[in-house]
């Protein structure tokens, strides 16, 4: 009869119990990275759309050119022109874990540029 309890295999059991928690933490960190990158993309797309609108080009097309195909652009046309400035707002969907599989929530990027068509007159 055995009186001493053996704890061989205990580390393997504890590791298997922690694997789901580790994977969940990595997935949440990856989602945070995607949110931050989407904010960067939205701001860049808004800048490009504002520059295009300032010279009379299509702002929405300029915004779409500067965003990867996996991210979906919800808006980005030329905004209002007031005080010699054009203001543009671009909305981009944050992907859920894998870019291109669907949107989590929209983020907005805003930009302004001097309206150059008035300067040409």
DSSP state string for 62-78? HHHHTS-TTSPEEE---
pTM score over 0.85:
no
User: Average pLDDT of 28-35?
Assistant: 94
Contact 66, 48 (CB under 8 A): yes
pLDDT tens digits for 44-77?
Answer: 999 999 998 888 888 888 888 888 777 777 776 7
Has residue 121 got a pLDDT over 50? Answer: no
Rounded Cα distance between 9 and 104, Å, is: 41
Q: Are 108 and 42 in contact (CB under 8 A)?
A: yes
Are 88 and 49 in contact by the 8 Å Cβ rule? The answer is yes
CATH code that applies to domain 10-119:
3.30.1300
Quick one: DSSP state of residue 84?
Answer: T
pLDDT at 1: 55
Contacts of 27 (CB under 8 A, 6+ apart): 97
- Check: CB of residue 50 under 8 Å from CB of residue 77: no
- The angle at the Cα of 62, spanning 57 to 65, to the nearest 5 degrees, equals 150
Domain boundaries along the sequence of the chain: 10-119
């Amino acid at each position: 009869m055995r009186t001493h309890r053996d704890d061989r295999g205990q580390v393997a059991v504890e590791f298997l119990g922690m694997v789901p928690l580790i994977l969940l933490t990595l997935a949440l960190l990856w989602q945070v990275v995607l949110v931050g990158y989407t904010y960067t993309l939205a701001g860049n797309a808004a800048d490009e759309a504002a520059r295009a609108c300032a010279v009379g080009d299509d702002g929405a097309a300029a915004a779409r050119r500067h965003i990867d195909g996996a991210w979906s652009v919800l808006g980005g046309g030329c905004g209002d022109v007031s005080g010699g400035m054009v203001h543009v707002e671009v909305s981009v969907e944050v992907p859920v874990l894998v870019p291109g599989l669907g949107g989590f929530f929209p983020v907005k990027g805003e930009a302004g540029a001097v309206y150059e068509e008035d300067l040409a007159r």
